Amino acid sequence: MKFKRAYLEIAAFLAVYFFAVYLWTLPFQNSKIPYGEFDAISHWELADYPAQNDRTFVYLPPFIDYSYPENNKYKPHTLWYHPPFHTDLAMISAFARDRVVPIYLTNAIFASSILISVYFVMRKLFGFLPAILSSFLLTFSMRDIMPYLWGQWPERFAYAFIPLILYCFYMYYTSYSKESSKPVYIYMMSILIAVNIMIHPLGFFHSLAGLFVLWIFLLVKHKKLAFNFKHIIISLIIFIILFAIFPYQTASMLKTFAQKDANTKQPPFSRLFQWSFDPKNFGGSVPPSYFSFREMSGNWTLLSKLGINLNFLMVFLLMGIFVLVIRRQDRDIFLLAWLISLYLVLHRDFIGKTNLIHRSLSATAHIFVPITILGALSIASFIKARQISQFLKYGMVLLVIFLAFKYSMPQAYSTLDTAYDNPLKRLNQAQIDVSEWLKTNTNDQQNVSIIGPPPELMEKVWWMASISHRVSNFFEGFLTWGRYKNKPEIASSHLLNDFIVMDYSDIGLISDRSYVDKWQQYEKQNLANHTLLYNKGSIGVYKYESKN
């Protein structure tokens, strides 16, 4: 009977997770063309290159080095991220023998793995219903979905480690006594922290803050250190070994961390009473809606027709916090410590650390959602009569599911379903074909230059660079921008012996017709005497070489 219940729980979780993965993979279910902002381009190419070339690298290939030469602060021209994340994607791409679906699917599974880790931890500490509902509600978290779509891939995955790292510490601490202990948990914690760094340092700093607060809280409650010299030494050794595997990236991370932030302005005192930030301070990087709880989590205004404009999501969240504070069992302390550590991380600007601070906001749903669910389910516990309490509990489960479908799902679904379906945002077949041609017919030491694209097409040029593993020069707005005053000199000194791509395949999408005329005029005047090597689908490739 017990087994059957476990099987049912797993089946229910699989159903929720499949639903989430179905939603999160919508952007590449019908169109198998890569998409995303500049961050996504860099992640895709770092994964695709080893899979396609059957080798890994320390020094960046020329087409990546052109864009990211100084990103590694310690050793320029090398990988700036620890290699495991992109090697993971590369391995699956090599295994599945496909360039697009494996990389995007593996990333989707990584990004949505917060559903797995939250389910696991909540199931262990609070039981099945809070766990499955938390996982279900996280499916629609816009603060997770938006950065996932934009391309902040490693960071999304790194957050999924936080509950597991805290869980390992919690298990070690709560099972610890002088007579017996389970050191395997502290060893697991050590490995997970090291892997967490390798995935993204930001997740690691969140984890450290969480561990610190959890340890303090448990220490105050239990008044035991749970300190075994042998266990600590072994786990430190494990951590140091893993920490040292990628010295260039680790050193770069430490150097970045040690750097003084450019923005050291002291935040106003009132910010201590806010979780989010003023959107005006982040204009251009993320949309204002990203800073709104209501817009990112859903506006559960169930009683708005009665004139009551309460957001029940917020009500349940506050109830959850209230219940945890009143009850203060170890498992409640676990969630409270996680919540408070997130608060501390989100206010690190008070100690002058502002780097990527707005990105930490994208980890809020991971702890808000479980507490919200506990708050909603706790209503039943206020009723003494068992039958009514049970009825109310399952009623709340249905209500939460209904509210999530009604208020949280529509925005998540439409965002994912229509993501990057603008033809200006994804390469067309002609651009993919020429990229493949360049990859086959040029070597990676040769320059391939794209001259002229207007800003709205620049992401496409970068995607062409990624797919071709070439393209080392971009001359954005070359034909119209005043910045390129010495055009003849650029043509003779910078473009000589380059392959020049003239791409008219998006001609119908460019609103400024005069731009296209200038493009054609330039081609006629400057490239007519050079060899046209490729001419297909409104794209030409010239070899720009001296005729002397």
Partner 1 sequence: MNLKIENKGFIAITVVIILAFFYLILGFPGMMSALGIILIFMLPAYLILNNFDLEQDEKIIFSFFIGVGIFPSISYWLGMVISFRLAILITFILLVAIAVVLPSRNKASK
Given 145, 166, 198, 438, the residue binding partner 1 (CB under 8 A): 198
Which of these ranges, 38-46, 48-56, 260-268, 414-422, lies near partner 1 under the rule CB under 8 A? 48-56
Taking the least distance from each CB to partner 1, the nearer of 138 and 491 is: 138
Taking the least distance from each CB to partner 1, the nearer of 175 and 263 is: 175
10 binds partner 1 (CB under 8 A): yes
At CB < 8 A and 24+ separation, what contacts does 254-263 make? 254/74, 255/73, 255/74, 256/73, 256/201, 256/355, 257/201, 259/73, 260/352, 261/352, 261/353, 261/354, 261/355, 263/354
Residues 77-106 that bind partner 1 (CB under 8 A): 83-85, 87-88, 90-92, 94-98, 100-102, 105-106
Q: Residue 110 Cβ, how far from partner 1 at the closest point, in Å?
A: 8
Taking the least distance from each CB to partner 1, the nearer of 120 and 215 is: 120
Measuring CA to CA, which residue among 47, 46, 153 is closest to residue 107? 153
18 binds partner 1 (CB under 8 A): yes
Taking the least distance from each CB to partner 1, the nearer of 160 and 367 is: 160
The dihedral of CA 152, 193, 262, 142: what is its sign? positive
Give the 3-state secondary structure of residue 502: strand
54 binds partner 1 (CB under 8 A): yes
Which of these ranges, 65-73, 195-203, 262-270, 528-536, lies near partner 1 under the rule CB under 8 A? 195-203
Which of these ranges, 66-74, 113-121, 354-362, 366-374, lies near partner 1 under the rule CB under 8 A? 113-121
56 binds partner 1 (CB under 8 A): yes
Residues 147-186 that bind partner 1 (CB under 8 A): 157, 160-161, 164, 175, 179-184
Given 118, 166, 199, 374, the residue binding partner 1 (CB under 8 A): 199
Q: How large is the C-alpha radius of gyration of the chain?
A: 27
Q: Residue 44 Cβ, how far from partner 1 at the closest point, in Å?
A: 15
Q: Are strands 473-475 and 531-536 parallel, antiparallel or unpaired?
A: unpaired
Measuring CA to CA, which residue among 398, 475, 382 is closest to residue 132? 398
Measuring CA to CA, which residue among 203, 512, 149 is closest to residue 341? 203
Query: Quick one: CA torsion of 186, 187, 189, 191, rounded to 10 degrees?
Result: 170
Measuring CA to CA, which residue among 462, 475, 470, 468 is closest to residue 446? 470
Cα gap 199→271, rounded to integer Å: 30
Q: For residues 119 and 340, is the Cβ–Cβ distance under 8 A?
A: no
Q: For residues 411 and 294, is the Cβ–Cβ distance under 8 A?
A: no
194 binds partner 1 (CB under 8 A): yes
Helix axis angle for 101-111 and 84-96, nearest 10°, is 130
55 binds partner 1 (CB under 8 A): yes
Given 27, 50, 62, 210, the residue binding partner 1 (CB under 8 A): 50
Q: How many CA atoms lie within 13 A of 185 on its CB side?
A: 17
Q: Residue 410 Cβ, how far from partner 1 at the closest point, in Å?
A: 21
Q: Residue 45 Cβ, how far from partner 1 at the closest point, in Å?
A: 15
Cα gap 481→268, rounded to integer Å: 41
DSSP assignment of 415-442: HHHTTT-STTTS--HHHHHHHHHHHHHS
Taking the least distance from each CB to partner 1, the nearer of 15 and 496 is: 15
Under the rule (CB under 8 A), what is the footprint of partner 1?
A: 7, 10, 14, 18, 21-22, 25, 28-29, 50-51, 53-58, 83-85, 87-88, 90-92, 94-98, 100-102, 105-106, 109-110, 113, 116-117, 120, 123-124, 157, 160-161, 164, 175, 179-184, 188, 191-192, 194-195, 198-199, 242, 245-246
